[in-house]
Amino acid sequence: MQMQDLHGYVPAIATPFNDKGEIMEDAFVELFEFLLARGATCVCIAGDNGESWALSAPERGRLVRLAKDTSKGRVPIMMGISAPTIDASVAYIRAAEENGADALLSMPQTYVLKASEAELMGRFDKISVATNKPLVLYNSPRRMGFSLTIDQTEKLLDHHNIIGIKESQRDFFYHTHLLHRLSHRLAVMTGPCHYIMPAFGLGAKGFIATGPEFTDLWPSEMAKVGAGIPDETYRHAHYQLTVLYELLMSLGTWPAAFKAALNLIGLPAGVPRDPVYALASDNIDKIKKTFDQLGISYS
């Protein structure tokens, strides 16, 4: 997988668990096919939506193999390898490689809440020693406790096999300078879904975000609409993405609201894995109310 292969709609697929915490493989395949029907150009296993923190290395590998077998070459498969320790990340790398993942998504060391320049660079040095697979950086200040600087991203890009970045920084000053400076060298993929449409106008190549599963505008059309002259289609899509993001991020513990919303539109997302609880009924009613306001059909 190369930089030019990373573009458009790259969903982080949910991992469907039953009430016993078991992965429902048939449900996973159904979710996978739904995402491809919506225009996915790549699918990410073990992202935040997939409850990466609850998945062992063998489970990640099994999901990658299931995705590869289901895809049959239609789209490449990315797998998350973020972890607090490098040993855990290397175990995830092995599972990804053994089961045919095409690219790896990695934050810096997670949940440490701070990393020195030397620690940050050392982390990716060790990852690069462990694999020849292309890397997609994941900059999520909300989950990491700090943000990559553009200088750090450029330095990592200079020394490692990096083809893109999932950029979840919530600052348009930052996005503007990142895209101006580095978009010719890596695929910038938008994280927060309310940034998707305007980011395309600034040169983003795609998005790894939550929300396009439910919009009237198909995710496969967002690049074209986002890079064009803003019209009613653009404004409607942007509004739906904004309201969906506000809604889903405000209810329960992630990704309980996302799974509840998928279940409402008839997809077998199951329930979160312990210790996360399924969304309470009053919060499901809030999703229904917002869906009604946005004109989104549900069962």
Contact 189, 205 (CB under 8 A): yes
Interior angle at CA 120, CA 115 and CA 121, nearest 5: 155
Tens of pLDDT along 90-102? Answer: 999 999 999 999 9
- The CA-based diameter of the chain, rounded to the nearest angstrom, is 52
Q: Where are the domains of the chain?
A: 3-226
C-alpha closest to that of 222 among 245, 244, 247, 240: 240
Tens of pLDDT along 78-93? Answer: 999 999 999 999 999 9
Question: What are the 10-residue block averages of pLDDT along the chain, 299 residues in total?
Answer: 96 97 98 97 97 97 98 97 95 98 92 83 95 96 83 95 94 92 96 94 94 96 95 97 96 97 98 97 98 95
pLDDT at 71: 97
pLDDT at 114: 79
Contact 97, 133 (CB under 8 A): yes
pLDDT at 248: 96
- pTM, two decimals, is 0.94
pLDDT at 217: 97
Contacts for 173 with CB less than 8 Å, ≥ 6 apart: none
pLDDT at 142: 79
pLDDT at 245: 95
CATH no., domain 3-226? 3.20.20.70
Residue 260 CA: distances (Å) to CA of 13, 46, 84, 154, 282: 14, 18, 28, 38, 12
